Amino acid sequence: MIVKKEKGETLNYLEDASNLKADNIESVFIPQNEEEVGEIVRECSARNIPLTVSAGGTGVVGGRVPLGGGVILSTEKLNEIVEINKEKKYAVLQAGVVISDFLEELSKQKLFYPPFPTERTAFIGGNVATNASGEYSFKFGSTREYVRGIKVVLSDGKVVWIRRGETFAQDGYLGIPSTDIKFKVPGYEMPSVRKNAAGYYSKADMDLIDIFIGSEGTLGIITEVEVKVIEEPPDVFFCAVFFQDSENAFSMVTDIEKRKDILNDILCLEYFDSNSLQLLKEFYPQVPGVAEECLLFATQVNSPESLDVWDKLLGGYNSISNWFADSPKQKEELYGFRHKLPEIINEIVRKNSYPKISTDIVVPEDKFWQMNDFYREKLKGTGMKHVIFGHIGESHLHVNLLPENEEERQEASRLYLEFSRKGVELGGTVSGEHGIGKRKHQLLKIMYGEEGLKQMARVKKSIDKSCILGLDNIFPRVLID
Ligand SMILES: Cc1cc2nc3c(=O)[nH]c(=O)nc-3n(C[C@H](O)[C@H](O)[C@H](O)COP(=O)(O)OP(=O)(O)OC[C@H]3O[C@@H](n4cnc5c(N)ncnc54)[C@H](O)[C@@H]3O)c2cc1C
């Protein structure tokens, strides 16, 4: 086992992509096998030392940031792809496998793992712990739907394999087989939206595995994962469509949503507002100077004729230009366009030295336009720099507020709460894909109330009996005292 103690060696583990940063920790443990994971956990439990699991560090809510100290357990050396079964379409991976490595191995066998997130340096264990959603979640959904089994080291060091379809809640309770753990299923109702990564999963007849997926390192340490894989999709065609006004862009989205003949082939349907395009124009001459709005979609091409439908559709909305990509080089370029925006935003944030405030709200489909109007109405007179972009096809836009001074920071925080309240009032979730971590307790409280958070804390106390894992993730640690 590798142990890092010197400040220079541990520095990288004190932060993630959230701008949160811990001051110091006792040690970073990097186990090379499951026995070593067990040793660390048993020792921490015995000495009551907080333990935070670290994966790729790409989380945006501070989940792996060890506020309050303790130790870090990094899964980076648990990085073996144990099995890829082409015939039965599954793979078994250690938790520290980097998503890009997994995708590369799969593609050698013409296989594919659909819910991979945009940030491909993330680890599979991190994806399961946050229930990440992929670039193609419009078609394929989130990580939860692909996880068939997980191997978990509990805080007493015991190792359990939990497989989907084996253990279900009964009379409001769930137990972990071959342990004495039994817990009450939380009573709150989850929102009916296309994606949800806010707090513990809860349903009356839920599968045990679902409490661990999206539990952000608070219940156990995932060391191995078994996931479903699929055949590589047929050829994929990408297109960015530029408009001079939002009316046409939004009509196109509404019409696409009604088109049953093409919906099943669409992999993603994304949106960029005029402020996003303003930032991107500097880097991409393909974006027309007069463009104010953009939709980007990817669709499977099942036959040469399948693109004819799109050809007709694209003619109908006064778009000013279309940027097509079907060759690998063009796709790479358009992919770069799509991912440039978060990079530019992060650069602005660094210069501003005020953190960005980024929403992750998803509302039910029939409430999307109401939510969209609400964002714009509230942002209208603020003068604050902001961008709106994201997964419009899943009723999931990210509003990034970019305050430049203290007054704006306060205004951004106020708006953030107002947006979240509205999203919840419309039946939505405060987090579609990023999770709650240490940054969004207040928002989760808007969703489930103090009582909901207390119910989650009770689940944690029943499973993580030493109460050492992922402290302050999802709900504040005072709730487990
Ligand atoms: C540019 C950018 C783009 C992004 N795009 C997306 C996107 O498209 N979709 C999306 O969903 N997210 C996205 N994210 C967020 C991030 O990539 C995901 O949340 C990802 O799943 C985090 O994985 P990680 O390996 O980096 O985990 P980390 O950040 O290291 O950890 C995340 C959380 O999981 C816990 N954890 C990690 N491994 C384990 C384990 N083995 N057992 C128990 N707990 C564990 C940690 O304690 C922590 O709470 C993006 C982030 C960035 C910076």
CB 126 less than 6 A from any atom of ligand 1: yes
| Atom number in ligand 1 closest to CA 123 | 25
Map out the domains of the chain as residue ranges: 2-74, 81-231, 236-358+363-425
- Give 434 Cα–ligand 1 centroid separation in angstroms: 7
List, in order, residues 6 or more apart from 339 with CB less than 8 Å away: 118
CB of 63 within 6 A of ligand 1: the answer is yes
Among 51, 99, 130, say which to mutate for ligand 1: greatest number of ligand atoms within 8 Å of CB: 130
- Say how far residue 460 (Cα) sits from the centre of its chain: 21
| CA of 124, closest atom in ligand 1 | 25
pTM listed for this prediction: 0.95
Testing ligand 1's pocket by substitution, the residue of 13, 14, 118, 400 carrying the most ligand atoms inside 8 A of its CB is 118
- Which pLDDT value is given to residue 343? 86
* Domain 81-231, second-level architecture: 2-Layer Sandwich (3.30)
Which parts of 3-80 fold into alpha helices (H)? 7-10, 34-47
Q: How far is the CA of 470 from the centre of ligand 1 (A)?
A: 14
Buried b (16+ CB within 10 A) or exposed e, 146-166: bbebbbbbbbbbbbbebebee
> Strand, helix or coil at 5?
coil
Can you point out the beta strands (E) in 86-172?
A: 90-94, 111-112, 147-153, 159-163
What is the Cα 158 distance to its own chain's centre? 28
With a 6 A CB cut-off, is 342 part of the ligand 1 pocket? yes
The answer, yes or no, to whether any atom of ligand 1 lies below 6 A from the CB of 215, is no
Q: Is 400 in the pocket of ligand 1 (CB under 6 A)?
A: no
Question: Quick one: which H or E segment has residue 161?
Answer: strand 159-163
Q: Measured from the CB, is residue 119 less than 6 Å from ligand 1? A: yes
Q: Is the CB of 70 under 6 A from ligand 1?
A: no
The answer, yes or no, to whether any atom of ligand 1 lies below 6 A from the CB of 286, is no
Domain 2-74 sits in CATH at 3.30.43.10
Verify whether ligand 1 is closer than 6 Å to residue 434 (CB atom).
yes
Atom of ligand 1 nearest to the CA of 220: 43
Atom 37 of ligand 1, nearest CA residue: 126
Residue 205 burial (CB count, 10 A): 8
Interatomic CA distance for residues 117 and 139, integer angstroms: 13
Pairing of β 386-391 and β 396-401: antiparallel
Task: Determine if ligand 1 sits within 6 Å of the CB of residue 470.
Answer: yes
- What type of residue sits at position 475? F
Domain 236-358+363-425 falls in which CATH fold?
Alpha-Beta Plaits (3.30.70)
The rounded distance, in Å, linking the Cα atoms of 305 and 39 is: 59
Q: Could you tell me if the CB of 38 is within 6 A of ligand 1?
A: no
| Tens-digit pLDDT profile for residues 165-206 | 999 999 999 999 999 999 999 999 999 999 999 999 999 999
pLDDT for position 339: 86
- The atom of ligand 1 lying closest to the CA of 55 is 30
Q: How far is the CA of 320 from the centre of ligand 1 (A)?
A: 37
Q: From CA 131, how far away is CA 214, in angstroms rounded?
A: 5
* Any atom of ligand 1 within 6 Å of the Cβ of 57: yes
Q: How far is CA 370 from the centre of its chain?
A: 24
CA distance 113 to 299: 17
Does ligand 1 come within 6 angstroms of the Cβ of 452? no
Residue numbers of the chain with a pLDDT score lower than 50: none
Q: What is the pLDDT of residue 331?
A: 86
